[in-house]
Amino acid sequence: MAEIELKTAPGDYRFPTTNQSRHCFTRYVEFHRCVAAKGDDASECDKFAKFYRSLCPGEWVDRWNEQRENGYKITNLDWVLGHMLTPLALQPQHNLLSDNTQQKK
């Protein structure tokens, strides 16, 4: 049976302390920026996915993904400073309801 080699995200000089919350969120943002720029099937984005998945608690990723699906976008990394469960980084997009949608109601 082949051995499984486990790897995590490499060290990053931007996050020298032991608290990796900001590192986790930055890697999550980098992944989604990469996918937005290069497409869903871009192999260049795979490393960012591996990094955030190895650093971030699953509950956080689930919540961020849910918020993104509900029309929120990532705008600010300062959410880490005391807002772990309700990130300020996810702000509503201005175009959630287009003018056409509002007129139909």
Domain count of the chain?
Answer: 1
CB atoms within 10 A of CB 7: 8
43 inside domain: yes
Residue with tokens 């980084």: 89
Name the pTM for this structure.
0.61
Question: What's the pLDDT tens digit per position in 68-104?
Answer: 888 877 655 554 444 444 444 454 443 333 344 444 4
11 occurs within a structural domain: no
* C-alpha separations of 101 from 37, 55, 89, 94, 95 in Å: 28, 39, 26, 13, 10
Whether residue 67 lies inside any domain: the answer is yes
Look up the domain containing 75 and give its range: 21-104
